[in-house]
Amino acid sequence: MGRVTRIAILGGGPGGYEAALVAAQLGAEVTVVDRDGLGGSAVLTDCVPSKTLVATAEVVTEAAESAELGVVLDDPEVGVDLVRVNARVTALAEAQSRDVAGSLEKAGVRVLAGTGRLAPGDRVLVEGADGSTEELVADLTLVSTGARPRVLPEAIPDGERILTWTQVYDLDIVPERLVVVGSGVTGAEFASAYNAFGSEVVLVSSRDHVLPGEDADAAYVLEDVFSRRGLRVLSRSRAASAERVGDGVRVTLTDGSVVEGSHCLMAVGSVPNTEAIGLAECGVRLDGGGFVEVDRVSRTSARGVYAAGDCTGVLMLASVAAMQGRIAMWHALGDAVAPLDLKTVSSTVFTEPEIATVGWSQAAVDSGEIDARAVKLPLATNARAKMQGIHDGFVKLFCRPGTGIVVGGVVVAPRASELIHPIALAVEASLTVDQVAHAFTVYPSLSGSVAEAARRLHRRT
């Protein structure tokens, strides 16, 4: 490939806008073609809105369970005004989208509102939102078109009673009885939040326990909390259909049993936005699920075409999408770059309590995929946790048996998304448990349990 100076980016989500900022910083002429709004689903319908909703749920939970700390509420019932909650959700999402737009404008990135399609000859055909058309000639194209909620033909959302996670922000009342289909991250997060809001929640899980892709010990803690708070989990159950019946819904399971509710949230995965944008015609290979196949520097099978974000199906997190986009530009523009390493990615399930992980997992250790030692410390023994009335959760660390190098960790706690960072740093920098243990922590603090876990893994040399 010759010198890259003109870059076209399809999609303004984290993969797209972060790539654009890097490319502009490195002197390229960048055009972003965006259809749904800058920031993409992460900002407009997924991460920012859902975590804003979760933030309200956290406050409700803390208030409802604060009697142990001596807090007296005049009205023991803690509720929410869902209209105000969702108005705040929408306002924050729009504000974040404007911030993204401002960053791109300041960087000199051109933004076209519309839909882009790859065409032979290093061209991108743009159909503007106003009906106009334009042809871009690009030395390099980045596909970052994201994904959308998967819809089952037997459970078509109507936006009122049967909902996807992009539609819940239009609700004006807290569902009286919410049936959540899908026990992955999205299903668990919304189930946790609406349970805090006062909904009677039934979570339909096709697996033995919720969050089948997460640490099993963490999932068991969460299920115990769910049970204590009245959230019902139907394990080893699969929804066959969902239909609206008057002012409610009827969810029929594959065993013939029926679960009724006032609303149903379908959280059964995502579908990539890769149709009808010229990928196959330009030699971009897709997998069986329609996701773009990429290598660790975001290259596709087609010369001059990279891809990033949820449309690739690579650990569908906003942080990973952003890193894929940055890596693509660093690589294409000849800057220093390290290939994507998924074993250094930290992620969080924003339930109450949160579940955060990084690096190698317990399942990998148990299967013999990696040889590692582990220690798990319950938060109930942590002084700060006692002060805050925290009874559930733990810190778990994994290290190599010979060197003591930290290779993974799990935190189950309020704000676990913050507590995972020192473990993520240790994994990224290949620190030993002794190095982690010797760093000072504040007393009392929840992070003290990270250092204590590291001390438990020390071996005398």
Encode pLDDT of 302-361 as tens digits.
Answer: 999 999 999 999 999 999 999 999 999 999 999 999 999 999 999 999 999 999 999 999
For range 33-59, the mean pLDDT: 96
pLDDT at 424 over 60: yes
For range 134-157, the mean pLDDT: 97
- The pair of structure tokens assigned to 393 is 């959760």
Degrees (nearest 5) of the Cα angle 389, 391, 393? 125
CB 216 within 8 A of CB 362: yes
Q: What is the C-alpha to C-alpha distance for residues 238 and 83, in angstroms, rounded to an integer?
A: 32
Residues ≥6 apart with Cβ < 8 Å to 149 = 164, 165, 166, 266, 267, 268, 269, 270, 271
φ/ψ of residue 419, rounded to 5:
-70, -20
- Whole-model pTM: value is 0.95
pLDDT digits (tens, 9 = 90+) for 353-379: 999 999 999 999 999 999 999 999 999
Handedness of CA 410, 414, 417, 419 (dihedral sign): negative
Residues ≥6 apart with Cβ < 8 Å to 87 = none
- The pair of structure tokens assigned to 27 is 């002197």
Which pLDDT does position 25 carry in this prediction?
A: 97
pLDDT digits (tens, 9 = 90+) for 102-134: 999 999 999 999 999 999 999 999 999 999 999
For range 52-69, the mean pLDDT: 95
Q: Whose CA is closest to 284, among 318, 311, 263?
A: 311
Alpha-helical segments (H) within 132-177? none
φ/ψ of residue 92, rounded to 5:
-70, -40
Whole-number average pLDDT of the chain: 96
Matching residue, tokens 């010198």 = 3
Degrees (nearest 5) of the Cα angle 39, 41, 43? 45
Which pLDDT does position 79 carry in this prediction?
A: 86
Mutual angle of helices 448-456 and 416-429, in 10-degree steps: 40
Q: Whose CA is closest to 16, among 101, 98, 95, 138?
A: 101
What's at 100, amino acid-wise? V
- Beta strand 123-128 with 258-261: parallel, antiparallel or unpaired? unpaired
pLDDT digits (tens, 9 = 90+) for 240-296: 999 999 999 999 999 999 999 999 999 999 999 999 999 999 999 999 999 999 999
CB 417 within 8 A of CB 355: no
Beta strand residue intervals within 1-61, DSSP E: 6-10, 29-34
Confidence of residue 73 (pLDDT cuts 50, 70, 90): confident
Instruction: Name the strands in the sheet holding 200-204, side by side, starting at the edge strand that comes first in the sequence.
Output: 162-163, 263-266, 177-181, 200-204, 232-234
Verify cis geometry, omega within 30 degrees of 0, for the bond prior to 401. Answer: no
- The pair of structure tokens assigned to 155 is 């459970």
- The pair of structure tokens assigned to 24 is 């502009």
For range 143-170, the mean pLDDT: 96
φ/ψ of residue 190, rounded to 5:
-70, -35
pLDDT at 188 over 60: yes
273 or 459: which leads in pLDDT? 273
pLDDT at 461 over 80: no
Matching residue, tokens 């990270």 = 450
Confidence of residue 2 (pLDDT cuts 50, 70, 90): low
Which pLDDT does position 214 carry in this prediction?
A: 96
Which pLDDT does position 460 carry in this prediction?
A: 84
